[in-house]
Amino acid sequence: MERIQDAYRADTFREDGHRLIDQLADYLEALHERPGEQPAMPYQRPNELWSQWREAPPANIQELFARVLQQSVAVHHPQYMGHQISPPVPVAALAGLLGDFVNNGMGVYEMGMAGTVLERLVVERMARELGFGPEAGGFLTSGGTLANLTALLTARSLKVPERVWTEGQREPLALMVSAEAHYCVDRAARIMGWGSEGVIKVPTDDNYCLRTDLLPECLEAARQRGRRVIAIVGSACTTATGSFDDLEALADFAEAHDLWLHVDGAHGAALALSPEYRHRVAGLERADSVAMDFHKMLTTPSITTALLYKRQRDTYATFQQRAAYLLEWEQPDNWYDLARRTFECTKLMLGLKAYAILATQGVEFWRDYVTRVCRTTEQFAAQVRQRKSLKLAMEPQTNIICFRYHSEGMTEEALNHINRSIRQELLEDGSFYIVQTLLDQSVYLRCTLTNPFTTETHIAGLLEIIEKIGAKLRAGQPSTSALYES
Ligand SMILES: *Cc1c(COP(=O)(O)O)cnc(C)c1O
């Protein structure tokens, strides 16, 4: 019993908690004031790190926290320009701590009263921001991947007249999506049992946007193969290059052919909040459903995703299932027992984290944030254009930018090798964190400008190093990366 009492002691919690917050505040301060002294990426090889922990476990909770902090990629570092995760606003992380502590399960109203109400407020606010009307609704869910699957399940429920839920799926179905879409759309179709033929990948143009002129022939070809197409998924934007599909054209096509239009706006739906950039998502409000990640461009801890619907009533069609032990599912206007409409039964108090930002900073903060990181990315592109040995994949449309080291007369294979080596050297050096992607078989360096404190100076520093490593490798000197060689 003593052990049990010990684990729940209020005074220890108070002490540990204060210490942790101090530690995090010091860390944030150091990243803001002396970023040059901290690595953005304190890279260690997986097996090394694993044996370190196995052989020397932390002596106490402070050491555990300190080590985790020291061994994690610093998303708050202005030279973090890697994957799409945004640096969470500290107040949202605090809200996360509160949510973890009260641990309300959110499946039914009583098990998450405040969380349920805040979720509705966040969803309604975001639906308005995207341009949806008063009929709109939705909920929060655990990630864009799950949101996309859930939206497609709704589409299937509503577009297929047989009762798939009770009788199983009889007809081979399909959806249409850009060849550059996030892999989770393909995965969702396969989970639903549609197989490879269930995903019609429409080719893209020079900017990696879906070629809407090819939609009629893709639809016809699918029909010829005996497929019934029920949905079209727009990318706003794609993950690799940040390319926005023409949502107006997709909406026209969907309307003409009675298709469900889902927009995967996991990354880019947030551009709707920026007066300067919202033209990129023109037509978004015509979608039947939109997925939007708060942990990508809305500075909320992972994972917080809104699945928004043009019509709230559609959300009740997804899971036509009874769970007798839960409460009052039958009431048509029961918006508050969330598990009825979400994939999850128990889920985190996601609305709390986003609401904490809304309540303290207002939506204007998000407008400023989105605008700022997109502008910084345009400055990045301008700097790439000025450097002879660097080349853009395309003009950036959001805060994602792809470019590569380039030199006349080198084979594609050699360029791919150089760009891969550059990224690997940067990873191990750790002062900057960037990633890479493959576009039409060519290796490109890829950055997401997610930290609002990243400036032109940080960008110039990065490009300088890249050119230097590139020139060195081009001259035939071996990569300093021991990892890459092994
Ligand atoms: C990140 C991303 C996803 C996946 O979202 P998660 O929240 O990581 O599950 C889906 N689609 C696009 C376009 C994305 O950028």
pLDDT tens digit sequence for 7-66: 999 999 999 999 999 999 999 999 999 999 999 999 999 999 999 999 999 999 999 999
Give residue 60's Cα distance to chain centre: 34
Whole-angstrom CA distances from 370 to 77, 238, 436 are 18, 17, 23
Joined together, the tokens standing for residue 292 give 């939007």
What pLDDT is attached to residue 480? 61
Burial class (CB in 10 A: 0-12, 13-18, 19+), 425: buried
> Residue 486: pLDDT above 50?
no
Interval between CA 174 and ligand 1 midpoint (Å):
21
- CA–CA separation, 39 vs 70, rounded Å? 9
Ligand 1 geometric centre to CA of 57 (Å): 34
* Residue 256 in this model has a pLDDT that exceeds 90: yes
Q: Is the CB of 236 under 6 A from ligand 1?
A: no
Distance 293 CA to ligand 1 centre (A): 7
Give the closest residue (by CA) to ligand 1 atom 5: 144
SS3 180: coil
- Whether 293 lines ligand 1, by a CB cut-off of 6 Å, is yes
Atom of ligand 1 nearest to the CA of 238: 13
User: Which atom belonging to ligand 1 lies closest to the Cα atom of 296?
Assistant: 1
Amino acid in position 99? G
What mean pLDDT is predicted for residues 167-190? 95
**Ligand 1 centre distance from Cα of residue 144 (Å):** 5
Q: What is the mean pLDDT of the chain?
A: 94
For 96-119, how does the pLDDT look when each residue is reduced to its tens digit (9 = 90+)? 999 999 999 999 999 999 999 999
For residues 271 and 371, the answer to whether their CB atoms sit within 8 Å is no
16-20, Cβ contacts within 8 angstroms, sequence gap of 24 or more:
16/61, 16/62, 19/62, 20/65
For residue 146, give the ligand 1 atom closest to its CA.
9
* pLDDT tens-digit readout, 413-451: 999 999 999 999 999 999 999 999 999 999 999 999 999
**The pLDDT value given to residue 394:** 98
What's the CA gap between 398 and 376, in Å, rounded? 10
pLDDT-based confidence at residue 483 (cuts at 50, 70, 90): very low
* 351 vs 185: CA distance, rounded Å: 25
DSSP state of 75: T
C-alpha 10/C-alpha 427 separation (Å) is 41
Is 307 touching ligand 1 by the criterion CB < 6 Å? no
Tokens of 88: 């969470």
The tens digit of pLDDT for each residue in 279-332 reads 999 999 999 999 999 999 999 999 999 999 999 999 998 987 655 554 455 566
In ligand 1, which atom is closest to the CA atom of 267? 15
Average pLDDT (344-371) is 97
Residue 228 pLDDT greater than 90, yes or no: yes
Measured CA to CA, the distance from residue 463 to residue 432 in angstroms comes to: 10
Q: Please tell me the predicted confidence (pLDDT) of residue 437.
A: 98
Ligand 1 contact via 145 beta carbon (within 6 Å): yes
Mutate to test the pocket of ligand 1, among 247, 296, 300, 450 (most ligand atoms within 8 A of CB): 296
**Local structure of 407: helix, strand or coil:** coil
How far, in Å, CA of 250 to CA of 267, rounded? 18
Query: What's the 302 CA to ligand 1 centre distance in angstroms?
Result: 11
Q: How far is the CA of 135 from the centre of ligand 1 (A)?
A: 26
Mean pLDDT of 149-157: 96
Range 392-404 average pLDDT = 98
- Ligand 1 in reach of 182 Cβ (< 6 A): yes
| pLDDT for the residue numbered 150 | 98
Give the mean model confidence (pLDDT) for residues 375-398: 98
What does the angle CA 254 – CA 174 – CA 159 come to, to the nearest 5 degrees? 55
User: What one-letter code names the amino acid at 191?
Assistant: I
Global pTM reads 0.95
305 lines ligand 1 (CB under 6 A): yes
State the pLDDT at residue 241.
98
pLDDT in tens, 56-103: 999 999 999 999 999 999 999 999 999 999 999 999 999 999 999 999
- The C-alpha atoms of residue 114 and residue 102 are separated, in whole angstroms, by 11
Which is the closest atom of ligand 1 to the Cα of 293?
7
